[in-house]
């Protein structure tokens, strides 16, 4: 067994102390034997012999015991240190295992969250697909409904237009009949005048003075009748002139509206000859556009073409010159103005 060097010096000092004590004891014993004369007295002497070798051996045992104790302490310290290291390793392993378990739990939680997010995203996508289908179905139904409404309105408008034409024809016939009746009345008046003139001439021979008075009276009546006839003709002429003026004003206003729209129309790329869209423009007396309806569109008319026509009207916004029209003329012709939009009319 290897001794600890820290115990050598104390062991040597203890050994030296024992040697010095033994040397003093032996010296004292020898001195006493020289000073005391030998007396032959029988007495009992108790003496203890000190064996130096034994003493050294004993001292060596003491040192060995101290060394053993030191060695045992060192072993115990080493065991304690090893136990401390083992405990630390065990704690570190336990900590690492816990960290590993925590990481595994975190990974599982993350995977579960990812799985839940994916499930939610899939559900959201499925819900969106269902919603998109519903929107598409509703859009198709609305389009079908609008197309039916447009066709019904077109049929109603055609019926109204036919009635308007028939009413105009009836009015023209009535005016022609009135004109013929007026002419017949005028011819009758002329014949009556001729008969009256002949009667006056016949009676002139019998009574010149009475005839002259009667002729004067009849001439006055004829002049009044002629004046009345001329007034009726003037009224008819004024009515015809007013109608012509109104027709000219309406035609001018229509051309004005058409030119204003065409100037603001931007031709779409897919506009082709043959496309037709009919717009109903709702106006107020100031010429301001309050609403635009699509009354009819040809099957070849694209959405872009129809949208460009509507956009051109909206760009005008207000037809200022319409405010100069009379209220009756405006209400009859421009309160709801039908405008037929065709690319060939625009010289594409």
Q: What is the pLDDT of residues 252-290, one digit of tens each?
A: 999 999 999 999 999 898 888 889 999 999 999 999 999
For residue 156, give Cα distances in angstroms to 10, 173, 297, 333.
Answer: 135, 26, 15, 18
CA angle 99/100/101 to nearest 5° reads: 90
Residue 317's pLDDT band (cuts 50, 70, 90)? very high
- The CA distance from 73 to 1, in Å, is 13
Q: Which residue has the higher pLDDT, 319 or 65?
A: 319
Closest CA to 312 of 241, 262, 268, 346: 262
Which residue has tokens 């005839």?
Answer: 211
Tell me the per-residue pLDDT of 176-234, one tens digit each, with 9 for 90 and over: 888 888 889 888 888 888 887 788 677 777 777 775 777 567 767 757 766 666 555 65
Residue 348's pLDDT band (cuts 50, 70, 90)? very low
- In this prediction, what percent of the chain has a pLDDT beyond 70? 82
Q: What is the pLDDT of residue 42?
A: 54
Q: What is the pLDDT of residue 303?
A: 93
Q: What is the pLDDT of residue 5?
A: 62
Is pLDDT at 144 greater than 70 in this prediction?
yes
For residue 121, give Cα distances in angstroms to 107, 115, 130, 329.
Answer: 21, 10, 14, 64
Closest CA to 269 of 343, 180, 176: 343
Tell me the per-residue pLDDT of 81-118, one tens digit each, with 9 for 90 and over: 889 888 888 888 988 889 888 898 988 999 889 998 89
Entry pTM: 0.34
Tell me the per-residue pLDDT of 128-141, one tens digit each, with 9 for 90 and over: 998 889 988 898 88
Q: What is the pLDDT of residue 243?
A: 67
- The CA distance from 13 to 89, in Å, is 44
Residue 39's pLDDT band (cuts 50, 70, 90)? low
- Taking all residues of the chain, what is their mean pLDDT, rounded to a whole number? 82
For residue 54, give Cα distances in angstroms to 51, 58, 187.
Answer: 5, 6, 192
Q: What is the pLDDT of residue 231?
A: 58
Q: What is the pLDDT of residue 338?
A: 93
SS3 track for the chain: CCCCHHHHHHHHHHHHHHHHHHHHHHHHHHHHHHHCCCCCCCCCCCCCCCCHHHHHHHHHHHHHHHHHHHHHHHHHHHHHHHHHHHHHHHHHHHHHHHHHHHHHHHHHHHHHHHHHHHHHHHHHHHHHHHHHHHHHHHHHHHHHHHHHHHHHHHHHHHHHHHHHHHHHHHHHHHHHHHHHHHHHHHHHHHHHHHHHHHHHHHHHHHCHHHHHHHHHHHHHHHHHHHHHHHHHHHHHHHHHHHHHHHHHHHHHHHHHHHHHHHHHCCCCCCCCCCCCEEEEEEECCCCEEEEEEEEEECCCCCHHHHHHHHHHHHHHCECHHHHHCCHHHHHHHCCEEEEEECHHHHCC
Residues 279 and 294 sit within 8 Å (Cβ to Cβ):
yes
Is pLDDT at 43 greater than 80 in this prediction?
no
- In this prediction, what percent of the chain has a pLDDT beyond 90? 24
Is pLDDT at 164 greater than 50 in this prediction?
yes
Q: What is the pLDDT of residue 8?
A: 79
Q: What is the pLDDT of residue 264?
A: 92
């Amino acid at each position: 067994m290897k001794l600890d060097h820290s115990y050598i010096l104390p062991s040597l000092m203890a050994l030296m102390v024992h040697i010095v004590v033994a040397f003093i004891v032996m010296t004292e014993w020898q001195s006493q034997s020289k000073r005391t004369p030998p007396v032959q007295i029988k007495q009992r002497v108790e003496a203890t012999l000190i064996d130096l070798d034994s003493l050294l051996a004993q001292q060596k045992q003491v040192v060995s015991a101290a060394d053993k104790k030191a060695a045992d302490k060192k072993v115990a310290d080493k065991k304690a240190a090893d136990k401390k290291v083992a405990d630390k390793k065990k704690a570190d392993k336990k900590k690492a295992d816990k960290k590993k378990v925590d990481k595994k739990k975190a990974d599982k939680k993350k995977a579960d969250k990812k799985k839940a997010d994916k499930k939610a995203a899939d559900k959201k996508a499925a819900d969106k697909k269902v919603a998109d289908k519903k929107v598409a179905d509703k859009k198709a139904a609305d389009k079908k409904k609008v197309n039916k409404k447009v066709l019904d309105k077109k049929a109603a408008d055609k019926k109204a237009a036919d009635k308007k034409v028939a009413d105009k024809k009836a009015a023209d016939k009535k005016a022609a009949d009135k004109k013929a009746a007026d002419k017949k009345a005028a011819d009758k008046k002329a014949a009556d005048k001729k008969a009256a003139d002949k009667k006056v001439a016949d009676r002139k021979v019998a009574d010149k003075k009475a005839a002259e008075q009667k002729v004067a009276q009849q001439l006055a009546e004829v002049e009044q009748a002629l004046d009345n006839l001329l007034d009726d003709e003037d009224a008819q002429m004024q009515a015809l002139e007013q109608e012509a003026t109104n027709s000219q004003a309406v035609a001018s206003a229509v051309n004005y509206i058409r030119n204003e729209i065409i100037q603001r129309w931007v031709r779409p790329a897919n506009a082709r000859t043959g496309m037709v869209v009919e717009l109903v423009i709702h106006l107020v007396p100031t010429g301001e556009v309050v609403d635009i309806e699509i009354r009819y569109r040809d099957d070849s008319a694209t959405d872009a073409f129809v949208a460009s026509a509507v956009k051109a009207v909206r760009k005008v916004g207000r037809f200022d010159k319409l405010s100069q029209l009379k209220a009756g003329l405006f209400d009859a012709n421009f309160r709801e103005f039908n405008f037929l939009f065709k690319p060939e009319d625009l010289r594409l």
